[in-house]
A and B are shown apart, each in its own frame.
Chain A
Amino acid sequence: MNWTAVASIYRFEMARFFRTLMQSFLSPVLSTSLYFVVFGAAIGSRIDQVEGIAYGAFIVPGLIMLSVMTQSISNASFGIYFPKFIGTVYELLSAPVSFLEIVLGYVGAAATKALFIGLVILGTASLFVDLSIAHPGAMVLFLLLTCLSFALLGFIIGIWAKNFEQLQLVPLLIVTPLVFLGGSFYSISMLPPIWQKITLFNPVVYLISGFRWSFFGTSDVPVVTSLLAIGGFTCLCLAVIWWIFKTGWRIRS
């Protein structure tokens, strides 16, 4: 393993993040505050509790997941798309590095940024509502796995994309709807029975449910199912990436 290379890629990518640290920090703080004003105050005054949890607190895990997923994808996809776009990818391709090292560097950096933003949101939320975390270990595990697997997905999108429009397409058309419909702001049990069934095809449901369990000890689906779902998703992304580098798809002519 060329660990020096992994560290170099990681550091180079993080530098991009630190150049805009203020932006990276302020925007999640602002958007979280807005969510609390709108959902917490306006809706929360009508919906008092969900499954015995104050509505304001109930939406926190969903809010964190929403940001972490979109941030992981956009950071990782941009991270690898940008070198392709400006041509600096030549250096990666001609360096003595394997696909694993490239992925570790880019995905690691993207996941770190998403994790940072997730923690900022958690911090901001705790200013608005009373939060207690029932299973802190599981919470961290779910958060890390989500950052990692969605950064892997973002990496694939970045390699697949041929222009900036495509880069936005998957997050916009697929991920955001899945996250909003995945029980970020409500419990699955609040839906009509038929929609409860349909919702189970949405993979994001399992992540949010598991993550929420780590906070409040209650979940829509069994926790083990959630873990299996996210584990399987991570493996799938890894397999696709392995194939991409084996064939040189869209990176090596």
Chain B
Amino acid sequence: MSAILSIRDLRKSYEGGFEALKGASLDIEEGEILALLGPNGAGKTTLISTVCGITTPTSGSVTVGGHDISQDFRAARRLIGLVPQEINLEPFETVWNSVRFSRGLFGKPRNDALLEEILKKLSLWDKRKSQIKELSGGMKRRVLIAKALSHEPRILFLDEPTAGVDVELRKDMWEVVRELKADGVTIILTTHYIEEAEAIADRVGVITKGQILLVEDKATLMAQMGQKQLEVQLSAPITAIPEALSSYGLELSADGAALIYTYDTRAERTGITSLLNEVASAGLVLADVVTRQSSLEDIFVGLVAGEQS
């Protein structure tokens, strides 16, 4: 597969001299869903704003569908839909006119049937004649999504689309995202909810302090998360793992007082029962048993903490 969006060594210094992006590079495949995770102020919004043309990069290059975002800005921007983090809407305009405006702004001919379909999908059809200021926060966020979808983008940026949205609605939005993916739309979303990335992303990227630390298949990350550890604490420390237990791939803790067994929770047999039996028959006395599981959040927190220390 070829990259539909290619970011190369992107740097951005704001007016005060603060460098919000320090050489970020990222390739996004056509049709994938990429979740971008990172703490507040990591540079997620800056990255998106730069790709979309809202801020100008200090250096580096971005191509969208092969079009350079500055030399060939029209062709590049036509492919992109943006749902910004802040709710920015003209308060006195109606939902319908706002969405229609967005479509026209991107140079697309009028298509009321399509707009109707989008509004219905986002449960906004009943509100089409309401002024935006009469809508609730969650509805306004959906208007932003409707505006971005109105011009049929091939790439959709969702900057924290589910912030301040209730659980029910969040699930609905995930459904919309999945449908878009089925239509071949490439989606990049930022979020602070790890479970959101787990639920819908194909790949996960982690960004801190203006640098991309990792971009990994969610499946690979999930496989790491699927690993569980069983720690068998012994009443008396030992110096070596008994020969009888060699088939379990055990690790001995540094002080010799615990055996660590790593297993896959999704495997048919975890081997815990037989391990514990054999530990007993090897003459070792158990003091306690502890299990641990790493989540995407652990991996994420570990990465960010590691970077900051």
**Residue ranges of A at the interface with B (Cβ–Cβ < 8 Å):** 2, 4-5, 7-9, 11-12, 15-16, 19, 82-83, 86-88, 90-98, 248, 252-253
Contacts and interface: CB of A to CB of B under 8 A. Distances in A.
19 contacts: A2-B107, A4-B104, A4-B109, A5-B106, A8-B101, A11-B101, A11-B104, A12-B93, A15-B97, A90-B82, A90-B84, A92-B105, A94-B77, A95-B77, A95-B105, A96-B75, A96-B78, A253-B15, A253-B55
Contacts of B102: 91
Contacts of A96: 73-75, 77-78, 106-107
A8 B53 contact: no
A207 B11 CA distance: 49
Contact of A5 (B84, B92, B105): B105
The DSSP consensus for interface residues of chain A is: helix
Interface in B201-245: none
B289 interface: no
A4 B78 CA distance: 13
Nearest to B55: A253
> What 4 A-B pairs have minimum CB-CB distances, sorted nearest first?
A8-B104, A87-B88, A94-B52, A96-B74
B204 to A, nearest CB: 25
Nearest to B82: A94
Nearest to A1: B107
Contacts of A7: 104
A88 B90 contact: yes
A74 to B, nearest CB: 17
B137 interface: no
B295 interface: no
A32 B34 CA distance: 61
Interface in B54-111: 54-56, 73-75, 77-78, 80, 82, 84, 86, 88-93, 97, 100-109
Contacts of A90: 49, 52, 54, 82, 84, 88
A125 B209 CA distance: 65
A130 B101 CA distance: 44
Given A12-B93, A253-B14, A253-B55, A95 B88 contact: no
Given A12-B93, A19-B92, 7 more contacts: A90-B84, A91-B88, A93-B52, A93-B54, A96-B107, A253-B14, A253-B56
B147 interface: yes
Contacts of A94: 52-54, 77, 80, 82
B58 to A, nearest CB: 11
B43 to A, nearest CB: 14
A237 B107 CA distance: 27
Contacts of B147: 91
A51 B84 CA distance: 61
B54 A88 contact: no
Contacts of B106: 5, 95-96
B115 to A, nearest CB: 13
Contacts of A82: 90
Contact of B108 (A4, A15, A83, A248): A4
Contacts of A12: 90, 93, 97, 101
A87 B86 contact: yes
A82 to B, nearest CB: 8
A19 B150 CA distance: 24
B92 A252 contact: no
Contact of A86 (B54, B55, B78, B90): B90
A40 B90 CA distance: 42
A16 B80 CA distance: 28
Residue among A87, A88, A95 having the largest count of chain B Cβ atoms under 10 Å: A95
Contacts of B104: 4-5, 7-8, 11
B89 A88 contact: yes
Contact of B105 (A15, A91, A248): A91
A93 B88 contact: no
A2 B151 CA distance: 14
A185 B20 CA distance: 57
Nearest to A9: B105
A9 B107 CA distance: 11
A11 to B, nearest CB: 8
Contacts of A87: 84, 86, 88
A189 B100 CA distance: 54
Contacts of A19: 92
A7 B80 CA distance: 21
Contacts of B92: 16, 19
A97 B106 CA distance: 8
Contacts of A93: 52-54
Contacts of A253: 14-15, 54-56
A97 B105 contact: yes
Nearest to A89: B88
